[in-house]
Structure 1
Amino acid sequence: MRPLLLLDVDGPLNPFAAKADGKPAGFVEHKFRLPGWSRRRPLRMWLDPGVGAALMDAAGEAELVWATTWEHKANTMIGPAVGLPVLPVIEFGQTGTEWKFPAVARYAGDRPLVWLDDDFDMYTGARDEFLRSRAGLMSELIRVDPRTGITQAELAAVRERLG
């Protein structure tokens, strides 16, 4: 069964918590206008144009899937900026105290998964229940520091788990 590599945007691809006085090395500043965001100023994001190729290489035979509240906007706005093709999208709708875990569980079914995100510790009860419900299935949650985004360390962890 083909494993999944699940990818969040804010934190892993956009190191939003990096120092405000400059973008991280290798990243390019983008400004997006989004519905519901301040009309006076666009949303600033830092994205690494080479990370898409690195993720596809690390994924190997795994299916790369967006697991972000950006949902389909990730394919039209973020993917082109980081060098990713159109990817499948997990649709979350409204997330509450269970966060993304129920939607990911439904999407993944009994497929092994590796998931890159920065927020696994926000809803520890839901996280622990998610992992319990997947006992016996490879379910690697790789936390990405939102100050740095995905680094070689996370890519190596992905390769190790999927290799």
Structure 2
Amino acid sequence: MTEETRRPLLMLDVDCPLNPFAARWPRRPRGYRTHRMLPPSYAARREAAGRDVRPLRVRLNAAHGKRLLGLGYDLVWATTWAAEANEYIGPPLGLPRLPVVEWPEKIVPELDGLLFKTRHVVEWAAGRPFAWVDDALTARERRFVGAHHPGPALLHHVDARFGLREDDFATLARWAREQAQQR
């Protein structure tokens, strides 16, 4: 196994960690720029529901791409943006094309209240150590991952008002270093 395949995965949600969508409008956290984006899947959903199709306001901090790449992880999109993250989110951040955790075409809420992404993230990781940043992570997801994932995992909640901050990057870097020491 090469050094590259032994690095932990970093499962990235877009809306919150990278796009602090809950920040008070028109304020945005320092370092963020607002982009107008109209992904085809979003436009199709709005159109099918008979709603106005307007571009999304997406706030991104271009410095985050380089920082994420330097953390010692293999980055993976774990977002409802799905493959569109490679077209719309990656380029402004300076990220290369990343692998994508694919979701079922129709997202159905889990009966036990588990975040719909959780089972798919665990399956995609296939036992490999992973960190996951998302604003919807709770104790329920942590229990599920602990019971169903044989490797180490860090589920890190990020506040949707602020996106990734210094303490979040420090936590992710520390965890990646700990995983490297255990190899």
Q: Could you state the TM-score of these two structures normalised by the residue count of structure 2?
A: 0.80
Q: How does 1:60-75 map to 2 (within 5 A)?
A: 60=72, 62-75=73-86
Q: How does 1:1-163 map to 2 (within 5 A)?
A: 1-33=6-38, 34-35=42-43, 36-37=45-46, 38-58=51-71, 60=72, 62-93=73-104, 94-97=107-110, 98=114, 99-121=116-138, 124-134=139-149, 137-163=151-177
Q: After superposition, give the CA deviation of every residue in 1:76-102 in whole Å (9 maximum; x if it has no partner).
A: 001011121100000012252241011
For structure 2, list consecutive stretches of 5 or more residues without a partner in the other structure: 1-5, 178-183
Contact residue 27 and residue 46 of structure 1 kept, 8 A = yes
Q: After superposition, give the CA deviation of every residue in 1:13-57 in whole Å (9 maximum; x if it has no partner).
A: 000010113222111111112322454521111111110001111
Deviation at 1:138, TM superposition (A): 1.1
Q: Give aligned-pair identity as a percent.
A: 38
Counterparts of 1:85 and 1:20, CA distance in 2: 30
Contact residue 8 and residue 117 of structure 1 kept, 8 A = yes
Which amino acid is the alignment partner of residue 80 of structure 2? Answer: T
> Alignment partner of 2:57: what SS?
strand
Alpha-carbon RMSD across the aligned residues, in angstroms, is 1.6
Deviation at 1:134, TM superposition (A): 2.3
Distance change in 2, residues 1:7/1:40 (3 Å): closer
Structure 1 stretches of at least 4 aligned residues deviating more than 2 Å after TM superposition: 36-41, 124-127
Larger Cα-atom Rg: 2
> Alignment partner of 1:30: what SS?
strand
Counterparts of 1:152 and 1:95, CA distance in 2: 34
For structure 1, list consecutive stretches of 5 or more residues without a partner in the other structure: none
Contact residue 120 and residue 141 of structure 1 kept, 8 A = yes
